[in-house]
Amino acid sequence: MTAVLAGRAAIVTGGSHGLGLEIARAYVAAGARVLVCARDADALARARSELESLARDRTSVATITADVAEPDAVEGLVGHAIERFSRVHVLVNNAGIYGPKGLTEDVSWDEWEHAVRVNLFGSVLCSRAVLPHFRENGYGKIIQLSGGGATSPLPRLSAYAASKAAVVRFAETLAEELRGTGIDVNAVAPGALNTRLLDEVLEAGPGRVGTSFYGRAVEQRASGGTPLDEAARLAVFLGSGASDGITGKLISAPWDPWEELPSHTDDLESTDVYTLRRIVPTDRGLSWS
């Protein structure tokens, strides 16, 4: 990977394992300075050791233990990144959890609420914390990791589905608030990943997640799922200057021709391509007077 992020600094939340760690690896390989946060201090230490071994300069990698659902922790996270790197260019909101699995009326309300706090509130809090710095510098990139719940119902995973749909609409809304400021906001649909979230589904079993979803998870585990590096490469693109002006979009790592998007910026700005929208009868060839 070429050093397309040389001179840039990024915050990657939930970066101690899975996709977050893969994105952090890709950012380091692309020349970025990276601050990774996670709640698990031991996993974070292992991630830091690996990232330092990949970096051209060990000082370009930093970590901090933080819970993105806690406002004070988020303020400390962003403050530490600015203090460490002087300038931050990219925020990758990757931290997320499935939350409770089961029928909405049966699952723990505390667990349901906690999933929304991590997935939605965590993304909003991190964005709020970094925006004054981005506005001051007239530039910034916010990259939100989406999930399957953003574009289709996920029975028995209602907290995850609702929160992931919400973060995509939040990204679209924030992008509109920031038009003309030099700050781009986009969401990434990473595809079906074989991470520990998949392990949770398989461990929960068909009784809690439903036979259909469980069956798809079994097939995904056997097939290998979408490679993590596809979403990581898209995250690098969206954090680089090549994506300047592309904002307010939900982009699929495995399915969309995202490398070609710089040549379609006028169409992207003037249409609702790659956005969440309501389907009306005429969209399906129906005429209901």
Would you please indicate which residues are annotated as catalytic (active-site) residues?
A: 160
Q: Residue with structure tokens 């719940």?
A: 149
CA dihedral sign of residues 249, 253, 256, 257 = positive
**What amino acid is encoded at 26 in this protein?**
A
DSSP 249: E
φ and ψ of 259, to 5 deg: -65, -20
φ and ψ of 250, to 5 deg: -105, 110
Between CA 74 and CA 80 the distance in angstroms is 10
Q: Show Cβ contacts of residue 246 under 8 Å, excluding neighbours closer than 6 positions.
A: 184, 186, 238, 261, 262, 265, 268
> Is residue 223 a contact partner of residue 170, using CB atoms and an 8 Å limit?
no
The total number of residues written for the chain in this structure: 289
Q: Show Cβ contacts of residue 60 under 8 Å, excluding neighbours closer than 6 positions.
A: 28, 32, 33, 34
